[in-house]
């Protein structure tokens, strides 16, 4: 029997955001412990689905769970989203900023539509979606979910006769719109966008700031020696290389093949953390330590559950009175003395008897001591 193909990672992910996006002080603890908390919640709900997850918390406090079973989609957990949300809000301090109900992670694909005449598109960024949505639906009967300009600089866009727009579509609509479609009485090229930032390293020339799909260099550059060959083709010129660099690609295997960075020119390869050309991310602010009140609210043994209303705010609830019997510890308990035990001398403080309990007063026997 053929094994079913693995789902895309995004199809196995569901997430939740806070009412007001804000970094959580216990983000690392949430990422470490919530997978087991979620598994326990599913077990309590008699869920028969796989219970292995990977949790992540971003800088805006959003929590995502990705199933480790590659064949179980996130939509299978939909009936348990409310229970998982309540447990998340109950297990960690939220104050007046709880998490909203879990939802499936967006799985849309972003396509770039090129060479759109600038005189047919609205100048207002907010009106772009309605304008291009109608045109694409009329041409291909496909409904897009979002639209934005590829170039965010309005003045730069208006200075040219054509521009590009990025639209979000469902994965099954990608073959309908690519590689081209007719809009505004002309044939426009359509392709998948490539996500990149200033830290992205190209795998063709190993420079920073763009991906391989956007590299303009025709020939490859070796990240080990900066010569014009691929990484896998790098070989040491020493036929008796002690590390076997003459038969496989190894960076700086021996003095015969010293590394040379194609970015900074130093004696290191393009993957070195100390490369002078590598962008340095800005320092992140240190998270403040949680207060005593937040830590007390985070106790998993608390009997006061926190529900989420339709508006995302905690629902008012009345805590139940404790049903356990209260024990008065103010009255000293007699302590049985062992053999050869004498009363402590006057002025000697009693030994500690436990955390949070009053000290016990030694019990004096009125009769003769036991022999």
Nearest to 314 by CA among 71, 18, 2, 14: 18
| pLDDT at site 211 | 83
Is residue 193 within 8 A of residue 168, CB to CB? The reply is no
Structure letter (DSSP) for residue 361: P
CA distances from 212 to 26, 197, 201, 207, 208 (A): 37, 12, 8, 10, 10
pLDDT in tens, the chain (371 residues): 555 667 767 788 999 999 888 999 999 999 999 999 999 999 999 999 999 999 999 988 999 999 999 889 888 999 999 999 999 999 999 999 999 999 888 777 889 999 999 888 887 777 888 889 999 999 999 988 888 888 888 888 888 999 999 998 888 888 999 999 999 999 999 998 877 778 889 999 999 988 887 788 999 999 999 999 999 999 999 999 999 999 999 999 999 999 999 999 999 999 998 999 998 877 755 555 555 555 554 444 433 334 444 444 444 444 444 444 444 444 444 444 444 444 444 444 444 444 444 444 444 444 444 44
Out of 3.30.70, 1.10.10, 3.40.720, 1.10.287, which CATH number does the structure's domain 9-104 have?
Answer: 3.30.70
Beta bridge partners of 169: 109
HSE of 16 in the Cβ direction (CA atoms, 13 Å)? 24
Nearest to 103 by CA among 202, 198, 13: 13
Superfamily designation of domain 109-192 = RRM (RNA recognition motif) domain (3.30.70.330)
Q: Report CA 7 to chain centroid distance, whole Å.
A: 19
C-alpha dist (Å) from residue 21 to 62, 91, 97, 102: 7, 19, 9, 15
Find where tokens 């409904």 sit: 143
Q: Evaluate whether 9-104 and 109-192 have a shared fold.
A: yes
58: which 2 tokens? 């971003």
Which residue(s) pair with 67 in the sheet? 53
Residue ranges covered by each domain of the chain: 9-104, 109-192, 195-278
Report the SS3 class of residue 277. Answer: coil
Closest listed residue to residue 275, CA positions, set 216, 199, 204: 199
Q: Are 236 and 253 in contact (CB under 8 A)?
A: yes
pLDDT at position 12 is: 87
Alpha-carbon distance of 231 to 305, in angstroms, equals 56
Contact 41, 84 (CB under 8 A): yes
> CA neighbours within 13 Å on the CB side: how many for 178?
16
The pTM score is 0.45
Q: How many CB atoms lie within 10 A of CB 244?
A: 12
């Amino acid at each position: 029997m053929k094994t079913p193909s693995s789902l895309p990672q995004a199809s196995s992910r569901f997430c939740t955001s806070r009412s007001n996006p804000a970094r959580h002080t216990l983000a690392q603890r949430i990422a470490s412990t919530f997978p087991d908390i979620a598994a326990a919640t599913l077990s309590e709900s008699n869920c028969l689905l796989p219970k292995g997850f990977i949790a992540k918390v971003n800088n805006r406090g959003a929590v995502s769970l990705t199933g480790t079973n590659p064949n179980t989609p996130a939509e299978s957990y939909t009936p348990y989203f409310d229970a998982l949300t309540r447990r998340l809000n109950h297990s960690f301090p939220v104050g007046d900023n709880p998490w909203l109900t879990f939802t499936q992670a967006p799985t849309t694909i972003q396509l770039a539509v090129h060479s759109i005449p600038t005189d047919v598109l609205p100048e207002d960024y907010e009106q772009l979606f309605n304008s291009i949505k109608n045109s694409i639906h009329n041409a291909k009967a496909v409904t897009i979910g979002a639209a934005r300009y590829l170039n965010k600089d309005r003045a730069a866009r208006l200075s040219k006769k054509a521009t590009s727009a990025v639209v979000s579509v469902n994965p099954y609509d990608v073959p309908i719109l690519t590689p081209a479609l007719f809009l505004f009485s002309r044939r426009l090229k359509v392709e998948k966008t490539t996500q990149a930032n200033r830290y992205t390293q190209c795998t063709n020339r190993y420079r920073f700031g763009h991906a391989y799909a956007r590299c303009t260099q025709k020939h490859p550059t070796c990240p080990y020696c900066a010569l014009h060959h691929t990484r896998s083709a790098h070989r040491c010129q020493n036929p008796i290389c002690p590390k076997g660099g003459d038969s496989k690609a190894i960076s700086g295997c021996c003095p015969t093949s010293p590394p040379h960075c194609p970015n900074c020119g130093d004696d290191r390869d393009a993957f070195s953390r100390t490369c002078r050309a590598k962008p340095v991310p800005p320092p992140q602010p240190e998270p403040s330590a949680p207060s005593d009140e937040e830590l007390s609210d985070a106790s998993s043994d608390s009997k006061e559950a926190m529900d989420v209303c339709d508006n995302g705010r905690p629902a008012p609830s009345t805590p139940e009175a404790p049903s356990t019997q209260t024990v008065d510890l103010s009255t000293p308990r007699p302590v049985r003395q062992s053999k050869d035990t004498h009363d402590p001398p006057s002025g000697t403080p009693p030994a500690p008897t436990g955390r949070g309990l009053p000290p016990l007063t030694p019990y004096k026997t009125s009769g003769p001591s036991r022999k």
